[in-house]
Structure 1
Amino acid sequence: MRLLYEQDGETVEIETGLRKNPLQARGLLIQAWLLCERVIPDSADVLEVERGLRDAISQFKGGDHIPRYLLKGKTELGLSASKDKLLQLSLRIGGLVALIAVFYATAYNAVGGRKVFKCLESISEESKVDLLKRANSNPVNVQMMALLNLILRQHGPDATSTACLLYSLSTKELPK
């Protein structure tokens, strides 16, 4: 899908518009955003989660290259059951990329992790499913994904495999 707009009788793709006249293109995007927010009230939370998932995936390199603070992603007391359900949902709907993104983006010691978790909990089921499906469009370290896919094939997509995957991502804190 491409985002286009018309300017002086010419059809312009949004990326081109942002290069040629960034303020005008941003103004159009703001108008579109405000209309979207009116129709879909959880849009601001979805944007916050989307940013968190993308940031988490962009920092995920696999193996020893994962930034230290991500390795220590723990679940806050009282959030274990909710986070466990969220992780299983992310794996079931969005696959490994979504699982990794949700796990790291909601780590409470990661920048904005609590906020992303809270927003992800509060958005509609439809928005959640859409976000998790789109998480697969983010590029991830190929070698690490091959290893995680092997683990998943051996265990199947259930709570045990989720725990195995998280363990292989070097976390010592696994949801119950």
Structure 2
Amino acid sequence: MDFKGPMGVGDIHYNFAKPAKLDVEAEKERILKSAVERPNKALSEYERRYRRFAKYLSDYMVGKNADERDDLVSQASQESGLSFITASDSRYLGRFVRERSEDQLKDTPFNKPNITSAVGYEGRYKAFKRAMDSKRPEQSFSEIATPIAKQLRMSLASLYNTKYKGRYDKEKKNA
């Protein structure tokens, strides 16, 4: 027997196996399809929470009134493991509203005019001002502000900052 050239394992396999026929276009299609089904990186914790939050809101918001909006956000935030303040922040609720068109939000509690922070802030400040005006001399700030913070679903620190307490003090001083 006269063998020409080396006879390694690779040569034997190469010489005796039939060449595989590969449809390049079909293979490209298969790769593209599988890449869509399996994203190459896992979702971040924020993205997972946001999607749970958004899914809950979009499932339950239809038929609710604007005054039920806070309850809806509160329930959705509990569902996704967030505090109410975090969920009502622009990262969650703001993104939810930005991602939906006005037509989608038309008959829901999240229609664009109701969710502007200016409206929300003014309403909260008026509630805070009413409580502060009815304060008796022997009451401390925290005794007044704690029920208001609960009512407005804010932290006590938020009421104590310049937007609320600072503005109230300035108005009193200038009056």
TM-score range, shorter chain: 0.3 to 0.5
Normalized per residue, which structure has more strand? 1
Structure of greater Rg: 2
TM-score w.r.t. the length of structure 1 is 0.35
| Structure with more contact order per residue of length (Cα contacts < 8 Å, sep ≥ 6) | 1
